[in-house]
Amino acid sequence: MESAGGMRWLLTYSDMITLLLAFFIILYALSSIQKQRYEALVQALKAAFNGHQITVTKVHKYKRAPEPLHTEAATHTGSPEQKLYRELKAVIAQDHQQNEIVISQLPYGVDLVFLNGILFQEGRATLDAQAQQPLHDIGQVIRSVPNDLIIQGYTDDLPIDTPTYHSNWDLSAMRAARVADYWMGIGVSPTRMMLEGFGQWSPFASNATPLGRAQNRAVSVVILNHPLTLRNTAVGSPSTTFLQTPTGR
């Protein structure tokens, strides 16, 4: 009996060797299958070690994962986002502002970038007179749709420290607020708008020239696809790798 009891470690050792062998066989098998099967196996192993029931979903080779709803909407020819993009592009052309207002269609919505100092003079957050007409026309289109907006302010890299604007952060945030105030004045609900200030830290062009600095006195307006809202965007869903570089950045 003592001899048998002393050999119990051998049973434990043999069980461990068996498990290791099974583990390496699984690793070898995984070397020739696609990522989806690997992920399914990982989930199954996690469930097993946590004491949960194992459910394995069959993975079909070459089958793509479904795209997010907002990505499908943005690429569908007849989608509301395509219609909005066309309407805004027509308004920009009508106001002859194609060089100052860059429009891009992104997976999560439509991006408008007001460049070349069209909205603001250097060191200021007061809307220029020339900005009134394009802001009004674009605002009328925005007012007609339910989509939420993210309004982002930018500056050049010239230092600023005045009683009104302590830094370029302050100035950029105030520029975004001025655009929001203007659109709120023509009927765009403030519950649809979120403001961000980027200061000088995300330039559209080089600050080495007056032209580049003028481009960086900018405001970008992201009109989110309808399935997206400010709430789920602000908390990080969808991905916060958010700013795809538009033309001229």
Q: pLDDT per residue over 127-168, tens digit each?
A: 998 888 999 999 999 999 999 999 999 999 999 989 999 999
Strands 101-106 and 109-114: antiparallel
Task: Please tell me the number of Cα atoms within 13 Å of 77 on its side-chain side.
Answer: 0
**pLDDT confidence band for 70 (50 / 70 / 90):** very low
Of 172, 169, 149, 156, nearest in space to 226 by CA: 149
* pTM of this structure: 0.64
Is the distance from CB of 204 to CB of 249 less than 8 angstroms?
Answer: yes
Amino acid at 147: N
Q: Would you say 85 and 110 are in contact if contact means Cβ atoms under 8 Å apart?
A: yes
The CATH number assigned to the domain with range 69-234 reads 3.30.1330.60
Radius of gyration, alpha carbons of the chain = 28
Q: How far apart are the first and last CA of the chain?
A: 81
Local structure of residue 130 (DSSP, 8 states): G
Tokens of 182: 């203007």
Res. 8 pLDDT band, cuts 50 70 90:
confident
Q: What is the pLDDT of residue 56?
A: 40
Cα separation, 29 vs 193, in Å, equals 52
β strands within 35-188, DSSP E: 101-106, 109-114, 149-153
Mean pLDDT is lowest, of 42-46, 49-53, 98-102, 218-222, for 49-53
Where along the chain do its domains lie?
2-49, 69-234
- pLDDT, position 53: 47
Give all strands (DSSP E) within the chain, no chain letters.
Answer: 101-106, 109-114, 149-153, 193-197, 219-224
